[in-house]
């Protein structure tokens, strides 16, 4: 099964009704992919859902209990070299994805990442939700 790191904004957008994001989360539910996150993504997701879509808190809780994503630990240190790959707030998430050994990182905020440099240095493909749906045949 393909393991895919799913950024906070993709989870949030799925609960908000974005069709491509919904397809990614549905693929996880159906066992077509294994969604991978870190604690930062989980914390951001719960915080944002609670603040912005409070009626989705219970469905989120049910989802996380019935079909939890794989939660990985962020690296303890970041190198100076890796600092140039992404915006500082996104770097721990990016490095968690790399450390977890996933090949695909899905985010709606690709502007925060140096996509070609990440592919070259880490072998990690940064995709929008639409591109991920297409690439993974979801």
Q: How far are the Cα atoms of 101, 109, 113, 125, 130 from residue 135, in angstroms, in the given order? A: 18, 18, 19, 11, 9
Among 32-41, 43-52, 86-95, 116-125, the range scoring the smallest mean pLDDT is: 86-95
Distance of CA 53 to the CA centre of its chain: 19
**Token couple for 21:** 């994001």
* Rounded Cα gap, residues 75 and 55, in angstroms: 34
pLDDT (0 to 100) of residue 63: 93
Task: Report how many domains make up the chain.
Answer: 1
**pLDDT exceeds cutoff 90 at 44:** yes
In the structure, how many helices (H) and strands (E) does the chain have?
A: 7, 5
CA pseudo-torsion sign 48, 27, 70, 102: negative
Q: Domain range holding 23? A: 2-135
Q: What pLDDT, in 10s, does the model give residues 6-26?
A: 999 999 999 989 999 999 999
Q: What pLDDT, in 10s, does the model give residues 46-89?
A: 999 999 999 999 999 999 999 999 999 887 766 546 667 888 78
Looking up residue 89, the CATH number of its domain turns out to be 3.40.50.1010
For the chain, percent of residues with pLDDT exceeding 90: 81
* Rounded Cα gap, residues 101 and 93, in angstroms: 13
């Amino acid at each position: 099964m393909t393991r895919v790191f799913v950024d906070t904004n993709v989870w949030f957008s799925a609960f908000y009704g974005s069709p491509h994001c919904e397809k990614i989360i549905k693929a996880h539910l159906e066992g077509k992919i294994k969604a991978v996150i870190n604690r930062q993504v989980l914390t951001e997701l719960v915080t944002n859902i609670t603040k912005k879509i409070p009626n989705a808190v219970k469905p989120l809780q049910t989802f996380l209990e019935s079909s939890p994503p794989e939660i990985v630990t962020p690296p303890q240190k970041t190198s100076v070299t890796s600092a140039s790959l992404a915006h500082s707030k996104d770097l721990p998430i990016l490095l968690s994805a790399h450390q977890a050994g996933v090949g695909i990182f899905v985010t709606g905020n690709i502007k925060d990442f140096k996509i070609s440099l990440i592919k070259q240095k880490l072998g990690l493909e940064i995709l929008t939700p639409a591109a991920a749906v297409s690439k993974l045949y979801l």
